[in-house]
Chain A
């Protein structure tokens, strides 16, 4: 039983970490602000869920679990809203998105 729980939390932690690294690579590699937001925000919530679920499996039913659940809820609640506010502000302030008609020039820039 303990082995199964350990294996499960291993798997969840690894999944969370892999998601986090994926998002990090996305924020470095993607060409403009809006695509970077996409990379980081989409991975963020599932990464938090996986890591915190992995920790909860280790913690058992204690006050620590309650706090972990609260951290997860706060992250789930705040990080999409923060992303929304960020993109809205950027768009409102006129940050130009990366569109297909200037894609060729930027793709060459990316290659060189």
Chain B
């Protein structure tokens, strides 16, 4: 289980020359995601999704609040400890073009403190599951986009994390590649893993997620299952829910 406790991230923005203002990209967000749950983080561009996910993954240090992961060994805090239990992937994470997939897996495994036998065994499993046999030894800069994405996923699997955090993993992928990722997430959920992911594809989120957290300007707008959300807002699909909720917010903000 992963828990966000009153997370705040403050950035400074230069408005005009020499004039800076501070604003909260993430403003007091708290929620928890249980084992075996897939949670979708939705929101318009600039809502603070990426910042939130980076803090959850231990890439960024919150200005206030903290992230904790509950494992069999107890509660875990601190960026480097978090990273051990989390597999993080975003549309921006690229891989070293001059290495092969197997070399990357080996390198990451070694840094996670795995023994060579463990790495070999795990690599074999991953290559099989993700169907990477054909290209696992090729240099990454020679691979196609779909192959690269699969290699990226394999990278965050090597240390067998309990929690996956994906930041727009299907962005810019064709249907086959993106469905491979969606299938993968579903399969991991079945194994009892926790998945948090952000996306702009509403149909995908509706199909995938047990729960939807919508955020707007750094604050949570709603946190519920897709069915309940549809009922609450009297909508047919998630796309409508999104439009209604976010537009509502924007209007009330404009009225204030």
Q: Do A and B come from one complex?
A: no
Residues of A participating in the B interface, judged by any CB pair closer than 8 Å: none
Chain B residues with a Cβ under 8 A of chain A: none
